[in-house]
Structure 1
Amino acid sequence: MAILTEHGSQRDLLVSAFTLSCFVAVAYGIVRLLLVGRRPAGLPPGPRTLPLIGNLHLMPTFKPYKVFAEWGLKYGPLYSLMVGSNPLILIQSHKIAKDLLDRRGANYSSRPDLYILSELASRGLRQVAMKYNQTWRQIHRINHKILNAKAVRAYTPYQHLENRQMLVDLLDTPAAHKRHIQRYSNAVTCQMVYGFRTTSWEDPKLQSVVQIFSDVCTLGVTIPARLMDCYPIFQKIPKRWLSVCREAMDLDKRCISTFLGRWLEGKEKVLTDKAVPCFCAGLVQAQKDEGFSDELASYIAGDIVEAGSSTTSDELFGFLMAMCTHPDVQRRAQQELDAVIGTDRLPTLEDWDRLPYIRGCVKETLRWMPTTALLVPHSPIKDDIYQGMLIPAGSAVVINVWALNMDPTAWPDPHRFDPLRFQHDLRSEHEIATTAELTHPRHNYVFGAGRRLCQGMHVAERSLFLAMATMLWGFNITTPDPRKIDTEDLRGGLAVVPAPFDCHVTPRDAKRTDVMRKEWKEQQEQFLDPITKQWARVPEGLPLSTYSADALPKAW
Structure 2
Amino acid sequence: MPFSITILDVILALVGLALLRRLTSRTPAPYPPGPKGLPLIGNLLDIPSEQPWKTVADWGELYGDIVYINVLGNPFVFLNSPQAAADMLDKKSVIYSDRPTLTFATELAGYGKTVPLTQFGEEVRAMRRLLHSYMGTHIRAHKLSPMAEYETKGFLRRILNDPDQFDEAIRRTAGGIILQITYGYEPKDHGDPLIELISRAMEHLATMTVPGAFLVDVIPTLKYIPAWFPGAQFKRIASEAAQCLHDSVETPLNHVKEQMATGAARPSFTSRCLGGQGVTAEQEYIIKWAAAGMYGGGADTTVSSINTFFLSMMVYPDVQKKAQAEIDAIIGNGRLPCLTDMERLPYVEALVKEVFRWHPVIPLCVPHSPKEDDIHDGYLIPKGAAVVTNIWGFLHDPKIYANPMAFNPERFLGSHPEQDPREYCFGFGRRVCPGRHFAYSSVWLSCAMSLAVFTIAKPTDASGHLIEPVVDFTSKAISHPIPFKCSITPRSDATRLLILAEDEGK
- Alignment of 1:170 onto 2:159: yes
Q: Distance in 2 between matches of 1:418 and 1:56?
A: 37
- TM superposition shift of 1:152: 3.0
| Alignment check: 8 A CA contact 1:86 1:395 kept | yes
| Alignment check: 8 A CA contact 2:100 2:384 kept | yes
Aligned pairs, how many? Answer: 483
Q: Corresponding residue for 1:323?
A: 313
Q: Aligned to 1:191, which of 163, 175, 180?
A: 180
Larger Rg belongs to:
1
- TM superposition shift of 1:224: 6.2
Q: Distance in 1 between matches of 2:415 and 2:443?
A: 17
Q: Aligned to 1:276, which of 256, 262, 266?
A: 266
Per-residue CA deviation, residues 498-532 of structure 1 (Å, 9 max, x unaligned), is: 11223211111001100110111011xxxxxxxxx
- Alignment of 1:463 onto 2:452: no
| TM-score in terms of structure 2 length | 0.89
In structure 2, the CA distance between the partners of 1:288 and 1:409, relative to structure 1 (3 Å rule), is farther
- TM superposition shift of 1:246: 2.4
Amino acid aligned to 1:453: V
Q: Corresponding residue for 2:12?
A: none
| TM-score in terms of structure 1 length | 0.81
In structure 2, the CA distance between the partners of 1:60 and 1:502, relative to structure 1 (3 Å rule), is same
| Alignment check: 8 A CA contact 1:218 1:493 kept | yes
Q: Aligned to 1:359, which of 349, 356, 363?
A: 349
Amino acid aligned to 1:134: E
Q: Distance in 2 between matches of 1:46 and 1:260?
A: 44
The 5 A counterparts of 1:370-381 are: 370-381=360-371
Q: Corresponding residue for 1:46?
A: 34
Per-residue CA deviation, residues 356-409 of structure 1 (Å, 9 max, x unaligned), is: 111111111111111101111110122222221111111000011111111001
- TM superposition shift of 1:222: 7.9
Identical-pair percentage: 32
In structure 2, the CA distance between the partners of 1:279 and 1:424, relative to structure 1 (3 Å rule), is farther
Q: Corresponding residue for 1:212?
A: 201
In structure 2, the CA distance between the partners of 1:34 and 1:128, relative to structure 1 (3 Å rule), is closer
- TM superposition shift of 1:351: 0.9
| Alignment check: 8 A CA contact 1:324 1:479 kept | yes
| Alignment check: 8 A CA contact 2:456 2:487 kept | yes
Q: Aligned to 1:384, which of 349, 374, 384?
A: 374
Q: Corresponding residue for 1:474?
A: 453
Q: Distance in 2 between matches of 1:106 and 1:31?
A: 30
Q: Distance in 2 between matches of 1:86 and 1:486?
A: 36
| Alignment check: 8 A CA contact 2:49 2:475 kept | no
| Alignment check: 8 A CA contact 1:36 1:53 kept | no
- Alignment of 1:138 onto 2:126: yes
Q: Secondary structure at the match of 2:311?
A: helix
Amino acid aligned to 1:468: C
Q: Secondary structure at the match of 1:137?
A: helix
Q: Distance in 2 between matches of 1:495 and 1:477?
A: 24
Amino acid aligned to 1:479: K
The 5 A counterparts of 1:140-159 are: 140-149=128-137, 150-159=139-148
Q: Distance in 2 between matches of 1:62 and 1:484?
A: 22
Q: Secondary structure at the match of 1:385?
A: strand
In structure 2, the CA distance between the partners of 1:232 and 1:39, relative to structure 1 (3 Å rule), is farther
Which segment is superposed worse, 193-202 or 215-224?
A: 215-224
The 5 A counterparts of 1:496-507 are: 496-507=479-490
Q: 5+ residue gaps in structure 2?
A: 1-15, 460-464
Per-residue CA deviation, residues 388-434 of structure 1 (Å, 9 max, x unaligned), is: 1111111000011111111001001111112122226999xxxxxxx
- TM superposition shift of 1:35: 3.4
| Alignment check: 8 A CA contact 2:82 2:424 kept | no
Q: Corresponding residue for 1:515?
A: 498
Q: Distance in 2 between matches of 1:99 and 1:65?
A: 21
The 5 A counterparts of 1:409-488 are: 409-423=399-413, 440=419, 442=421, 445-480=424-459, 484-487=468-471
Q: Secondary structure at the match of 1:88?
A: strand
Per-residue CA deviation, residues 113-154 of structure 1 (Å, 9 max, x unaligned), is: 111111221263112111112222221222222222233333
- Alignment of 1:491 onto 2:474: yes
| Alignment check: 8 A CA contact 1:366 1:444 kept | no
Amino acid aligned to 1:105: S
Q: Corresponding residue for 1:267?
A: 257
Q: Corresponding residue for 1:66?
A: 54
| Alignment check: 8 A CA contact 1:164 1:519 kept | yes
Q: Distance in 1 between matches of 2:245 and 2:218?
A: 25
| Alignment check: 8 A CA contact 2:357 2:421 kept | no
In structure 2, the CA distance between the partners of 1:239 and 1:304, relative to structure 1 (3 Å rule), is farther
Q: Distance in 1 between matches of 2:485 and 2:90?
A: 39
| Alignment check: 8 A CA contact 1:37 1:82 kept | no
Q: Distance in 2 between matches of 1:71 and 1:327?
A: 34
Tell me how large the CA RMSD over aligned residues is. 2.7
Q: Corresponding residue for 2:392?
A: 402
Q: 5+ residue gaps in structure 1?
A: 1-27, 428-438, 524-556
| Alignment check: 8 A CA contact 2:135 2:141 kept | yes
Amino acid aligned to 1:211: R
Q: Distance in 2 between matches of 1:467 and 1:461?
A: 10
Amino acid aligned to 1:139: M
Q: Distance in 1 between matches of 2:75 and 2:415?
A: 37
- TM superposition shift of 1:492: 4.1
Q: Distance in 2 between matches of 1:516 and 1:127?
A: 37
Which segment is superposed worse, 200-209 or 292-301?
A: 292-301
Per-residue CA deviation, residues 420-471 of structure 1 (Å, 9 max, x unaligned), is: 22226999xxxxxxxxxxx957555332211111111111111111111110
| Alignment check: 8 A CA contact 1:166 1:184 kept | yes
- TM superposition shift of 1:301: 1.3
- Alignment of 1:247 onto 2:226: no
Q: Corresponding residue for 1:532?
A: none
Amino acid aligned to 2:484: F
